[in-house]
Structure 1
Amino acid sequence: MDASILYGRQIVLGEKDLEGLNNLRVKPALVVGKRGVICQRCGQTTSLKLARLPTGKYYCPNCLLLGRLTSADQLYNLPEPHLFEYKKNSLTWQGQLSKYQEKCSAQLQTVVKHGGKHLLWAVTGAGKTEMLFETINWALQTGKRVGLASPRVDVCNELFPRLQAAFAKTPMILLHGHAKESYRYTQLVVATTHQLLRFYQAFDLLIIDEVDAFPFVDDPGLHYAANNALIPGGTLVYLTATPSRKLLAAVKKKELSVSYLPLRFHGYLLPTINLVAVAKLRSQLDEGILNSKIKKILLRWQEEGYQFLVFVPRIALLKPVYQAIANLLKPELKGQTVYANDGQRIEKVAKMRAQEYRYLVTTTILERGVTFPGINIMVLAADDSNFSTAALVQIAGRAGRNKARPTGDVYFFCQDYTRTVKAACKQIKFLNRKGKKLKQDE
């Protein structure tokens, strides 16, 4: 077995894999104590009763997604050796940052050179990825290892080709449950946050994109994995347009530094939300009935020629809503449904990006990370409890991300004007006020 597979990693090995490997660091996968079982991969504690197997051994139920760990397993590791060449310049991206982006980029570089934790809070479409390039470039130039992780597979799939184009001469790998390439040792790693469970003190710079997204936001095991994957003294950077209260509290306590950008990369403000009240909306949607107000907008979009996303709060609504839209529009306008566990999700998103589909009817799985130029947005039953304030802000932020069309339509259809909907509208207005002030202060 190639020893480089273990650099900065912690994985279970079979007897054959161990042949020829020297200086391995070994630890038990699970530590069994009187009060419970502690997993050395995800850091979570499970009661003895819940963790006990019929064989009398114990297992960790918290990180099963990465393969079952039992009390009979060992985790093997080799220290990160940084076997990378120092380069004059790794960045092949030819784009140019705005002065606002440059300021955030410079702040980030300063933080990374000293280590610690940092939040880059920028509105959807601000160009967060591009703001990372100079910082990543400095890290690669100085022989450091860089990880960029996201909770969502779709986000990783979108980030990877952009990083390949920006750092064309740097070996990198994409890691997630559907990835086709086997693991190999590279200086730059793009991965889902679940994949971080397999790393141990690997990255000098670890960036978590969409840090407030499910499942990372509420999963202590994934937070443990992120901290565990970082080399002591390294830098952990959080990216988001909608920081959680916990992150904002950490900023207030000065537990992490922050950069803030309320303007999009093209200098335009966020599209405002058009709220439309519809009586009996939920029962109509359940029956596959589109209100005349919804039909009017869809027919206008059909004539204008732009792609659009229609968000629904539950999987059960996908089929009736899609069928109603398909019956309304011209048959040559192709569309599809998509949701988190859709086996063809990646292919459908790729077809939408290639403009083979005019529209997608989707759950919140496409609320963030996936960009379609010139898109229009419709949210049906925006007042449903499945839509959080952060999700609604992210969904609205799908529109207006293209310089050729920096606005775009955003319609929220509601039966009730809930606190969540009010908060989403309020947050966008607040960010736009900040953006206007920034431009006025030039």
Structure 2
Amino acid sequence: MKCKRCNNSDKDKFYKWNGSWYCRNCIRFGKVEVNQEIIPPDLTSNQIDTSYVLDYELTNEQQELMEEIDSRIHEKPMLIYAACGAGKTETTMEQISNYIREGKKVGYAISRRQVVLEIAERLSHAFKEVKVTPVCAGYTTEVDGDIIVCTMHQLHRYHQTFDLLIMDEIDAFPYEGNVILQSLAQNACRGELLLLTATPNEQLKEQVRKNEINQVTLFKRHHGHPLVVPKILCMPKVVQYLFLMYLCLKHKDKKWIIFLPTIAQVQQVFHAMKYLCKCSNITSKSEDKEQVMEDLRCGKIQVVFATTILERGITIAGVNVCIVGAEHQVYKESSLIQMVGRVGRKREYPSGYAYILASKKTKEMKQCVQTIKWMNQDHSNV
């Protein structure tokens, strides 16, 4: 037996009901009988002679990357390894435009709901004549569009649908190591696959070494300024909280995302600091994430205290970052790089502050700094 939706062939993960065998591996997406054909959804395909509009001109490095993608995309899956804020999304727009002109279906999948909404907004801004549809929790009434931006979980709706499927932040939870989501993605793509990340894991690196996927790289940000290298400050936990107070009081004209390792710590620090500055908090339990982020963008609040839920895909002009308790096991090299990568993304704010606070310096912190410094080197002759 083999599930045609998630590729499960483990007999212990099937069950028999009313004379039919069903897959328990992916039952959260609805029951699928073993012998049942998965029918692709009946979606529209429109040929649209479209182009995209950006708020800035692409750099020579971005142009060269796009040309390389165009020349090699039909060979095998392609990994775009690009630094945070280097313009990964923008480098896919030429391909998106090409596929839409041919009347082909484009999908853009990413792990987190918050980032789905932001990417959908960016693509809508770039492609004025094209219907961009976000599909995630709270946005499932409409599931068709010229470009469908969805969470990884929502790919179960799109069996054999996408002629171009862009998978962003593929090293992130919950996609990394999740064979069900990986199978859904594999089955959703009937054409070409683009993989995007700023922090490739060992599995991806091994696939590149074995020549199973192609890789292109982009480490220079579009504004030409180097990535912000974080300052690691080792101090007792109590002093770390005093340092937070100092930051918020000294830099009242600046925006901050303060990362803490647990929901309980986020809430404790928020309740202690709300009397000193205009602030809010975001965790996986927050129901007003979009409103809080909009308040930070427009300056209604100065500080957002958050778990790693905001480590990826978030762009706030002029934001600074402080990571508290960075020796905690939740912080890997990749998550530290991603959090620091929120700083300096915009042309009008190409730099800023990035602090890593910890009671002791860990291997992950050292690797984070080393990797960012390596990205800042000249790779033109590599």
The TM-score with structure 1 as length reference comes to 0.80
- The residue number in structure 2 matching 1:28 is none
Q: Indicate whether 1:103 and 2:64 are aligned.
A: yes
| Cα RMSD for the two superposed structures | 2.5
- The residue number in structure 2 matching 1:29 is none
1:367-386 → structure 2 map (5 Å cutoff): 367-386=311-330
CA drift at 1:223: 1.2
Identify the match of residue 96 of structure 2 among 130, 133, 136. 136
- The residue number in structure 2 matching 1:223 is 182
1:173-322 → structure 2 map (5 Å cutoff): 173-179=133-139, 181-184=141-144, 186-231=145-190, 234-279=191-236, 281=237, 284=238, 291-302=241-252, 305-322=253-270
CA drift at 1:80: 7.3
CA drift at 1:363: 0.4
Instruction: Give me the whole-angstrom Cα distance separating, in 1, the residues matched to 2:201 and 2:153.
Output: 20
Instruction: Give me the whole-angstrom Cα distance separating, in 2, the residues matched to 1:128 and 1:405.
Output: 19
Of stretches 381-390 and 355-364 in structure 1, the one that deviates more from structure 2 is 355-364
- The residue number in structure 2 matching 1:44 is 8
SS at 1:395's partner residue?
helix
Q: Which amino acid in structure 1 is aligned with residue 46 of structure 2?
A: F
Q: Indicate whether 1:84 and 2:84 are aligned.
A: no
| Deviations 1:27-47, CA, capped at 9 Å, x for gaps | xxxxxx4xxxx4332223455
Q: Indicate whether 1:326 and 2:326 are aligned.
A: no
Instruction: Give me the whole-angstrom Cα distance separating, in 1, the residues matched to 2:112 and 2:246.
Output: 34
SS at 2:79's partner residue?
strand
CA drift at 1:292: 3.4
SS at 1:272's partner residue?
coil
CA drift at 1:367: 0.2
CA drift at 1:100: 0.7
SS at 1:323's partner residue?
helix
| Change over 3 Å in CA distance of 1:79–1:153 after alignment to 2 | closer
Gaps of 5+ in 1: 1-32
The TM-score with structure 2 as length reference comes to 0.92
1:417-432 → structure 2 map (5 Å cutoff): 417-432=361-376
| Change over 3 Å in CA distance of 1:215–1:334 after alignment to 2 | same
SS at 2:226's partner residue?
coil
- The residue number in structure 1 matching 2:26 is 63
Gaps of 5+ in 2: none
8 Å CA contact 1:196–1:225 kept in 2: the answer is yes
8 Å CA contact 2:59–2:222 kept in 1: the answer is yes
| Change over 3 Å in CA distance of 1:69–1:335 after alignment to 2 | same
Q: How many residues align?
A: 381
SS at 1:149's partner residue?
strand
- The residue number in structure 1 matching 2:298 is 354
8 Å CA contact 2:23–2:34 kept in 1: the answer is no
Q: Which amino acid in structure 1 is aligned with residue 26 of structure 2?
A: C
Identity of aligned residues (%): 29
SS at 1:155's partner residue?
helix
Instruction: Give me the whole-angstrom Cα distance separating, in 1, the residues matched to 2:22 and 2:283.
Output: 31
Q: Indicate whether 1:366 and 2:326 are aligned.
A: no
CA drift at 1:91: 2.8
Instruction: Give me the whole-angstrom Cα distance separating, in 2, the residues matched to 1:61 and 1:228.
Output: 18
Q: Which amino acid in structure 1 is aligned with residue 99 of structure 2?
A: A
Instruction: Give me the whole-angstrom Cα distance separating, in 2, the residues matched to 1:378 and 1:41.
Output: 42
Instruction: Give me the whole-angstrom Cα distance separating, in 2, the residues matched to 1:314 and 1:403.
Output: 32
Kindly name which structure, 1 or 2, has the bigger radius of gyration based on alpha carbons: 1
| Change over 3 Å in CA distance of 1:180–1:202 after alignment to 2 | closer
CA drift at 1:115: 4.6
| Deviations 1:215-240, CA, capped at 9 Å, x for gaps | 11111111111111111xx2100011
SS at 1:106's partner residue?
helix
Q: Indicate whether 1:410 and 2:350 are aligned.
A: no
| Change over 3 Å in CA distance of 1:200–1:54 after alignment to 2 | closer
Instruction: Give me the whole-angstrom Cα distance separating, in 2, the residues matched to 1:357 and 1:430.
Output: 34
Instruction: Give me the whole-angstrom Cα distance separating, in 2, the residues matched to 1:341 and 1:61.
Output: 27
- The residue number in structure 2 matching 1:117 is 77
SS at 2:92's partner residue?
helix
Instruction: Give me the whole-angstrom Cα distance separating, in 2, the residues matched to 1:325 and 1:81.
Output: 49
1:137-156 → structure 2 map (5 Å cutoff): 137-156=97-116
CA drift at 1:57: 6.9
Instruction: Give me the whole-angstrom Cα distance separating, in 1, the residues matched to 2:286 and 2:35.
Output: 33
Instruction: Give me the whole-angstrom Cα distance separating, in 2, the residues matched to 1:92 and 1:404.
Output: 19
| Change over 3 Å in CA distance of 1:169–1:219 after alignment to 2 | same
| Change over 3 Å in CA distance of 1:81–1:116 after alignment to 2 | farther
CA drift at 1:70: 5.4
CA drift at 1:95: 3.9
Q: Which amino acid in structure 2 is aligned with residue 44 of structure 1?
A: N
